[in-house]
Structure 1
Amino acid sequence: MASVHMPHPIRNHPAATRAALDAFWALAIGLIAAYAFFAALGAFSPGDVLGVTIGVGILVALCALRVWIERKHAEAQRDPRLVHARERRGF
């Protein structure tokens, strides 16, 4: 008797993975912004909370690395026909 092959409910769902990654990066940017806001207000000295400062520094480095990788990836996928059409129109 033949059986129907059903995909795994969690694996092979790039939309769920993408949503989780986007949520992580949104949370990371929020933490960086909150840290910068409270540090600018003078609520704490970055030297007094050295562990948090190092953690935020690591998050900033990871965000910068992600932006750099995404930019290089986007340049590789750019359609040359669209670039030519945009340049031809003067944009």
Structure 2
Amino acid sequence: DAPVGLIFTVDRRLNKGSWIDYGMFLQNIMVAARGRGLHTCPQAAFAPYHRQIRPVLDIPDEEIVVCGMALGYEDTSKPENEFRTDRAPLEDWVTFAT
């Protein structure tokens, strides 16, 4: 029941490095939201539905739907907000070189 739904697009002519920049942009939105007491839920699941989203939001053909994001205040009484995924321990996927 987040009151705000965001759809993010990127110009399809941009190179792969732009997608890294875009990821940092999305993360900054999420960090800024938390700093203001809001919660976010990025949702890559919207990308495959670009054909349905495009006409509703009048997204031009040169834009690619990257993801969606819900924005609002977390309702801790809802069971879906209690779900936490397992994470691999840091040492399983990071190597620190000195």
TM-score greater than 0.5 by the shorter chain: no
Q: Which has the higher contact order (CA 8 A, sep 6+)?
A: 2
Q: Which is higher, the Rg of structure 1 or of structure 2?
A: 1
Return the structure number with greater helix share: 1
Q: TM-score, normalised by structure 1?
A: 0.29
